[in-house]
Amino acid sequence: MKGTINIKRQILLPILGASIFFTTASFQNDFFEIAKQIEIFTEMYKQLNMNYVDETNPADLMDNAIEGMLSELDPYTKYWTEQEVEKSIINRRGAYTGIGAVVSTRDDKVIIVEPWKDHPADVAGLKAGDEIIEIDGIKLADYKENAGDLLKGSADTEISIVYKRQGKEKSAKVKRQAVEVNAVPFYEMATPEIGYVVLSKFNEKASRETKAAILALKEKGATKIILDLRGNPGGLLSEAVAVSNLFIEKDKLITSTQSVVEQYNKTYLTKRPAYDPDIPVAVLINGRSASASEIVSGSIQDYDRGVVIGARSFGKGLVQRPKPLSYGTQVKITISRYYTPSGRCIQALDYWNRDEDGNAVRTKKEDYNAFKTVNSGRTVYDGGGVQPDIELESAAYSPITTALLRDNAIFDYATEYYYNHQVTDMDSFRFTDTDFNDFVNWVEKKGFDFNTETESAFAKAFKTAEKEELDDDINSSYKAMQEAINNAKKKDMKDKKAEIMSLLTDEIVKRYFYRDGLYNYQLKFNPEILEAVNVLEDQNKYNRILK
């Protein structure tokens, strides 16, 4: 099979790469060449499946070929199976039938990440950190498909679940039900005059729910608004324009898209009079605010319409569109780059000019270009996400923090904390310096492996030394270097204490008091929200930032 994959990577992928753009301008210019390559590919695919020394699976071979081809592009251009197409529809509409919990697949394990309060998983007693090992008699270790799909099904149908918690096996029966996923999961008054709205995703209900939340808060006395886009990964471009339109007047440019394909060069203007063009606004963003979140925060910043607070956003300046394929499948293709009203493209990674290891190159700060905001002429920059007007350390995602999140260290520590500590009063809970030191020691004891770019470079060099039979000579030096790097990483964790403690606090509070409890806790203690309140209550400071 390895021989098949090598042939696939060397020969099949370039041919598939040509065929995917069958309807573009290149098709018109190179009709003969495309037809020729498709014919070669078809014949070769048939010959491989008929004659290869070992038995091949035609579907697997094609899936691997498609994945290999797309790996050379950006990570947002993806092939979707029928099931994945259905998932995208669910995400867009914000409703599905299931157990009412966020689940994650980790090393072929299905982990409960967050049960939603009073939904089936919560009613059945499932907790964050539980590992599901069996569903309706099907052992997940032996199940080759997406095990998470077994949790979905018709409303009012019951499933039997066996799960592991703190090393012990338990069982539960869970009755599926229709689950509504709100774009705005929470809104409340932060002060008697300041309303707070969490917008967590840009599905089909985003602008409608945001407007309804603001209306409800204004009826409670809100004369200023905090719009929280932290952790919002984006969604529908049309909804990003509509949310911006709540604060920005009619016929204003919100974003434009540019592509080598002429039909994708478009401008997107606000269509209606602003819901409230004058209400003071503070927008919260962080390193996980992406795409549509950056369109909204970027347009509000470019029109000097509100103050942006937090940490630099993710930097996704690319637009995707799904294109239908045969048998209910789709390919989601990056069709264009988008630009904010001032002309910025905030794309952070360059997938088209990679380094010698094939990795996308991040735009360096010295390469950022300066632009001017529309109304006040303030200087803003492109190239690395939306930079807040007020940056806070607690909102940042440094490489070490990203590594901790990627390796689930913060999640797993919160699970252990939950089972080892009694917390009954949300208002009195604090994650202390002592707790943080315990976390650092726990990480070291667990041996979490955070691979930095420095480590990867040294590891690559050591492998080369092994091939050249030089490893015996440099082995002791390499081990000393590894120890020095590990000590540096431990120091880096302490240097990034503020951002790590903020994430640990949020994860732990959510375990005891669910997501609504977390939002209420943040209203009182979160540094970004407190800073937003401070700015909105100080009209001189607010005006000074914008003008």
**Active-site residue list:** 291, 302, 316
CA dist 334 and 356 (Å) reads 24
Separation between Cα atoms, residue 29 and residue 479, nearest integer Å: 56
CA distance 114 to 411: 10
Nearest to 121 by CA among 174, 177, 170, 165: 174
How far, in Å, CA of 402 to CA of 408, rounded? 10
- 370 close to 381: Cβ distance less than 8 angstroms: yes
- Three-state SS for 51-99 is HCCCCCCHHHHHHHHHHHHHCCCCCCCEEECHHHHHHHHHHHHCEEEEC
Whose CA is closest to 390, among 493, 459, 306, 480? 306
Identify the burial level of 547 via C-beta atoms within 10 angstroms of its C-beta, where 0-12 means exposed, 13-18 middle and 19 or more buried.
exposed
* Alpha carbons within 13 A on the beta-carbon side of 229: 39
Q: What is the DSSP string of 452-473?
A: -HHHHHHHHHHHHHHHTT-HHH
Degrees, nearest 5: CA angle 213-524-398: 95
For tokens 């003008």, name the residue.
547
Cβ distance 82 to 327 under 8 Å?
Answer: yes
**Distance set, CA 463 to CA 80, 455, 544 (Å):** 36, 12, 56
Selection from 168, 151, 81, 82 nearest residue 110 by Cα: 151
Question: Does an H or E element contain 266, and which?
Answer: strand 266-269
d(CA 49, CA 17): 20
Residues paired with residue 80 on neighbouring β-strands, in sequence order: 330
CA dihedral over 88, 94, 95, 97, signed as positive or negative: positive
- Do 114 and 107 meet the contact criterion of CB atoms below 8 Å apart? no
Beta strands in 141-213 (DSSP E): 158-165, 168-175, 177-180, 186-189, 194-198
SS percent in the chain: helix, strand, coil, step 5: 45, 20, 35
